[in-house]
Structure 1
Amino acid sequence: MDFAERFAHWRTPGYRRSVAIRRAVGIALVAVAAAQLVIGAAREDPAVLVFSREVAPGVALTTDDVELRRLPDTAVPEGALRDAALVDGQVLAAAAAPGEVVTTTRLVGPDLTAALVADEPEGEPFSMVPVPVAEVDVIPLLTHGARVDVVGQGPRTVATGGRVVTAGEEGTVLVLLRQSDAEEVAASSLSEPLTLVLSARPRAFTMP
């Protein structure tokens, strides 16, 4: 049966043409409904901020570093941000890759502090203290969240149980410590060289 014979019933009024037309209309309606479901589902997906490019830790973010993207609700983590104005000028705690969702715990602030010390016992509140590093080559070893102790001359232990917040390329390490320890470290850094010792790995890094 050639093409003309196969579709001859479309040109001839009768039962076969009516059935064929109803089938074609039914298929078209199903296709339209399916397309509407897909479009509707996409519109219902929440729009959240993701990083639009690689960003180094310790960098102050701008609106050019992020973009809005619709993601399935199951793929959106807790604390995801949806307004680019909320990240403008905020400091990134750990390196970010394109497509990663921007959350409050990725930025230096109270939510990040709470996450870092969630396993710490109750007591004196924590504060962040910046400590300049003499040799920037050690910066890659001071990863976000690493536990460190601060040692001064003597040697003497200035503070223990610190957590690295950021270790930027500028040579400054931001360390989270109990309030009194943070004050002691800030004062000591003005008068003596300090050393950071990784609690998990006993290796020291000299600071001015």
Structure 2
Amino acid sequence: MDFSGVRRRLGAVAGELRRAILVRRRLLSAVCAAVAVLATVRAVAPPPPRTAAVLVAVRALAAGEVVGAADVASTALPVAVVPSDAAAAPVGRTLAGAVAPGEVVTEARLVGPSLLEGHDGLVAMPVRIADAAVVGLLRVGDRVDLFAADPAAATPSGVLVLQAGLVLALPRQTEAPTDGQRGRLLVLAVTADQGVEIAGRAARGLLTVALAR
């Protein structure tokens, strides 16, 4: 029996086995090193920020609109950027200011349950202003002077009807009026007597406003 040939074959097999073990050791070492690096990165990485659910507008909302269920959606934002006055239940309430798509609906953007909350003794009176562009310059909370003019008068001139009236709402006109009326509505806080005077002036002529201090 040729023992030298057997020894050579055994030596070749042992060499291949050692090479395979060495390759596997290197691969195992690389895997262990990668795991160690990943564990280190995870250990030093800051934890994900805490989030809170808030309601944001899904479309552009105008001042004076009543918020509907389809106008808002819930989303999660980092607690650090959530406004302190984020509204928890804005549906059914009236907007005091415009809200952009994706903006968190806050209490600052909403009026109270009633337009006249905090305005005892006053009434909310819709007033049609002849020039819609003028109303577009106003914001809820502005103070305005209301003027009336009668185009049919022999010598048309403006008359101050209301001084420093509070703008309660600016209803959005979604379509062109079909009754021939032009301009745009705004809602003012007035006394009952002032309302009677304004209604009379509106029936006889045109109304406009100017920003007051």
2: CA distance between counterparts of 1:73 and 1:21? 38
Give the match for residue 187 of structure 1.
196
Structure ID, larger Rg = 2
Aligned pair count? 172
Equivalent of residue 144 in structure 2, options 140, 148, 158 = 148
Structure 1 residues 185 and 74: alpha-carbon distance in aligned structure 2, compared to 1, 3 A threshold: farther
Is 1:133 aligned to residue 122 of structure 2? no
The alignment partner of 1:74 has SS state of helix
The AA in structure 2 aligned to 1:188 is: E
Point out where structure 2 has 5 or more consecutive residues left out of the alignment.
1-20, 150-156, 174-183
Q: CA deviation at 1:66?
A: 0.9
Higher RCO (C-alpha 8 Å, min separation 6): 2
The alignment partner of 1:37 has SS state of coil
Q: Which runs of 4+ in 1 moved over 6 A?
A: 110-114
Quick one: percent identity of the two aligned structures?
Answer: 29
Structure 1 residues 174 and 64: alpha-carbon distance in aligned structure 2, compared to 1, 3 A threshold: same
Is 1:76 aligned to residue 82 of structure 2? yes
- Say what the alpha-carbon RMSD is for the aligned residues: 3.8
Give the match for residue 171 of structure 2.
168
1: CA distance between counterparts of 2:191 and 2:44? 60
Give the match for residue 90 of structure 2.
87
Q: CA deviation at 1:30?
A: 3.8
TM-score normalised over the length of structure 2 = 0.61
Q: How does 1:24-43 map to 2 (within 5 A)?
A: 24-30=34-40, 37-38=47-48, 41=49
Deviations 1:161-203 (A, max 9, x none): 233232223432123x4xxx43333232333325433226xxx
Contact 1:167–1:173 at 8 Å: present in 2 too? Answer: yes
The AA in structure 1 aligned to 2:54 is: V
Contact 1:50–1:99 at 8 Å: present in 2 too? Answer: yes
Give the match for residue 65 of structure 1.
71
2: CA distance between counterparts of 1:112 and 1:100? 23
Deviations 1:127-179 (A, max 9, x none): 5623221536233133333320234579654443233232223432123x4xx
Point out where structure 1 has 5 or more consecutive residues left out of the alignment.
1-7, 118-123, 201-208
